[in-house]
Amino acid sequence: MENCLFCKIAEKKIPSSIVYEDEDLLAFKDINPAAPVHLLVIPKKHFATLSDCSANEAPLLGKMLALAPRLAEEAGCGVGYDADGSPTGGYKTLINSGPNGGQEVYHLHLHVIGGPHPWRGQR
């Protein structure tokens, strides 16, 4: 897709801080992080929004979502459990869709936002 920022990032025509890559997906650091950990997971194939995906994309969407806990763990904000079994750590996963959904870049992306910081309530 011409003139798509995240297609250009996926094609390495624009540099980014890549944290994960496979044949379908790329994950990189958000340029304007809302928290100590702020990653974006994108499909290499262009979909403008989540609403441009069909049921055919369920495996790809599932792969994106399943990657989030792995990346969070590697970034130090995974969910853990303390001695009494209470959950610790954690992160937020978010897909903004369309103008009313707050989407700014029209290439589907999943935000992974977390870290030891009082970021709750933001975004």
Query: Active-site residue numbers?
Result: 109
Block residue for tokens 């001695």: 83
30 binds ligand 5GP (CB under 6 A): yes
The pair of structure tokens assigned to 114 is 């977390």
98 binds ligand 5GP (CB under 6 A): no
Total Cβ atoms within 10 A of residue 100: 7
Q: Of 77 and 96, which has the nearer Cβ to Zn ion?
A: 96
109 binds Zn ion (CB under 5 A): no
Q: Of 78 and 106, which has the nearer Cβ to ligand 5GP?
A: 106
**Amino acid identity, position 100:** N
> Which residues fall within 8 angstroms of residue 48, CB to CB, at 6 or more apart?
106, 107, 108
CB of 5 to Zn ion, least distance (A): 7
104 binds ligand 5GP (CB under 6 A): yes
